[in-house]
Structure 1
């Protein structure tokens, strides 16, 4: 049974500061569709307020060649460590997973820029379901789009 539980992690080096990256995802996720429109078509606030724990966001995104949706709860925000945890409540991912959590932690690098550490923790509905490797690549590519935006801003 334990093979249904999984965890994927990915580090993405970006030239943008950790705090700017964190602020964008915390307070302005609705701006991401302007920066990465091929991946993110929209982000709406369903409950709560931008940047607050307990808020519910509704994402429209394009992944694996298809338009998809995700409703997620902002489960935790740690400003000191520039991290945010989202718990997926509804959407396409829940057709394959019993639970799905995404955490990103923006770690400052010594010289400049930062390393965005993405963690996906999940429990699959059954063992036929593949691990979400394409989704970890998706957030890798998304991080690069956000990096371009933040260093040009």
Structure 2
């Protein structure tokens, strides 16, 4: 069994790639009002939203358990509508030495497709694949896309 893994999915949403990227890159604190059952807080700790090296604290609920993670923007490209967040602190550190979330939004004729990639390195072989967290991320992308499409 490998300690290194990747989960990937393409999620079709009704919102434009620009709308999705704008929230996930520059205004992720909006998630607390768009999906309040999942995100309790998203706070900027250092830097500027959307800027390389910005750090933020995310408090979320998964399966009834509230957790916190501190993320660093490790890559951002407004032209390709791509953003990558890497874990630097938080509850996930007890299971993973590395945990990275990359989202690439591609415009379609109507709506867009978000390619979600979660890459991780487990601390031990006993740690489960983060499938529940990945599935929740897919759900959030879907709900965010529906919300943004309705808001226009």
Residue among 122, 125, 136 paired with 1:124: 122
Equivalence map 1:61-140=2 (5 Å)? 61-109=60-108, 111-140=109-138
Q: TM-score, normalising length from structure 1?
A: 0.95
CA-CA distance at 1:15 after TM superposition: 0.6
1:65 CA displacement: 1.9
Structure 1 unaligned runs (5+)? none
In the TM superposition, structure 1's runs of 4+ consecutive aligned residues that sit over 6 Å from their partners are none
Task: Work out the CA distance in 1 between the residues paired with 2:68 and 2:143.
Answer: 20
TM-score (ref. length: structure 2): 0.96
Check conservation: 1:45, 1:57, Cα contact below 8 A. yes
Hey, what's the Cα distance between the residues in 1 that align with 2:143 and 2:16?
Answer: 14
Name 2:142's counterpart in structure 1. 144
| Structure 2: runs of 5+ lacking an equivalent | none
TM-align CA RMSD: 1.0
The offset of 1:64, in angstroms, is 2.4
